[in-house]
Amino acid sequence: MQINHIEELKEKIKRQKKKIAVAFGEDPHTLEAVTIGVREGLFTAVNFARKSVVETVAKEADIDISLMDIVNVPGELEGVEKAVKEVNEGRANVLMKGICSSANYLRGVLNKEWGLLPEGALLSSATLVEVPTYHKLLIMSDPGVILKPTLENKIKQIEYCTSVARKIGIVNPKVAIITAVETVNPKMQSTIDAAIISEMWRRGQIKNCIVDGPLAMDLAVSKEAAKIKKADSEVAGDTDILIFPDIETGNAVYKSLTKLCNAKTAGVLLGTTAPCVIPSRGDSVEIKFLSLVLAATIS
């Protein structure tokens, strides 16, 4: 059954009881996001952090940390290593970044001995977005990891996002390759990539989805724009997955939707052997919580 609201994902994981490994969860937002999920019976959690600091923060924020296991570590690097190994060795299903730096967290994920990225795999990210003005959920790639994806990167992003879509009930997702225009322009590499990817889909080289591009953003998500422009496209106005030409475009769209359109979001790293949540330190409790729910759903 297709999921149309991020909150609906919670029903899919209640009986699965996945386990979250938190890397240095010493901030109130992370602790609260995790305890909400544990309290609602969605997953269990273990936090690798300085126990004394966690207890102080939890007391000040009135958070019940008895709902999670806490493994005391001397510092950030040890917290990251132990959390990554917890997932790598199969004792947890999802990795979550706490208050540790993104650089240290990613070093752990990418560690060649005990990390989570298989050799030759592409590290990317995807964000599930619920926009009040759009008729269904959107999956966006890549607003936070790959600076300027190559043709091969975009094909892999489609594969990753299609897998996510199918796990949340979208059997045959519609993929829009986003550019500034709908026509192929030899001076715009993104339009050339989009045309190649679309042709590859038509030839059966990309499966389990419907692909079209180049498509401008308005054409991808607006049925009215598709009608006005007389677009002959199965994807136009009904997109499930947005593939962006670069990180600037993806990041700008993502932040515009969250800050101007009151969108709900959930983000994960993909390409790893298990989903990894890497929220910004400034993300709200809701974003962190929903990201954990998404990660548990696709793990």
Q: Mean per-residue pLDDT for 60-87? A: 97
Q: What is the token pair recorded at 207? A: 């499966």
User: Would you list the domain boundaries of the chain?
Assistant: 6-120+273-298, 124-260
Rounded to 5°, angle at Cα 92 from 88 and 96: 90
Distant-in-sequence contacts of 39-42, Cβ < 8 A, 24+ apart: 39/64, 39/67, 40/10, 40/14, 41/14, 41/17, 42/10, 42/13, 42/14, 42/292, 42/293, 42/296
Give phi and psi for 270, each to the nearest 5: -125, 160
**Overall size of the chain counted in residues:** 299
- Can you give the pTM of this predicted structure? 0.95
Burial group, residue 205, by CB count within 10 angstroms (0-12, 13-18, 19+): exposed
- Are β-strands 69-72 and 94-97 bridged in parallel, bridged antiparallel, or unpaired? unpaired
* pLDDT higher than threshold 70 for residue 1: no
What's 168's DSSP letter? Answer: T
CATH fold label, 6-120+273-298: Rossmann fold (3.40.50)
Cβ–Cβ < 8 Å for 176, 216: no
* pLDDT higher than threshold 80 for residue 255: yes
Q: Give the CATH superfamily of 124-260.
A: Isopropylmalate Dehydrogenase (3.40.718.10)
Q: Mean per-residue pLDDT for 50-77? A: 97
Comparing CA positions, the residue from 37, 228, 269 lying closest to residue 142 is 269
Burial group, residue 285, by CB count within 10 angstroms (0-12, 13-18, 19+): middle
* Four-point Cα dihedral 93, 19, 40, 30, nearest 10: -90
- Residue 250: half-sphere exposure toward Cβ, Cα within 13 Å: 30
Cβ–Cβ < 8 Å for 243, 141: yes
Q: Can you tell me the distance from the alpha carbon of 284 to that of 288, in angstroms, rounded to the nearest whole number?
A: 6
Answer whether 6-120+273-298 and 124-260 agree in fold: no
**Residue 16 banded pLDDT, cuts 50, 70, 90:** confident
E strand intervals along 77-219: 94-97, 124-130, 138-141, 174-178, 210-215
Q: Helices H, strands E: what count in the chain?
A: 11, 11
Q: Could you read off the pLDDT of 190-212 as tens digits, one per residue?
A: 999 999 999 999 999 999 999 99
* pLDDT higher than threshold 70 for residue 186: yes
> What are 20's strand-pairing partners?
45, 94
* pLDDT higher than threshold 90 for residue 95: yes
* pLDDT higher than threshold 90 for residue 4: no
Q: What is the pLDDT of residue 79?
A: 98
* pLDDT higher than threshold 70 for residue 54: yes
* pLDDT higher than threshold 70 for residue 111: yes
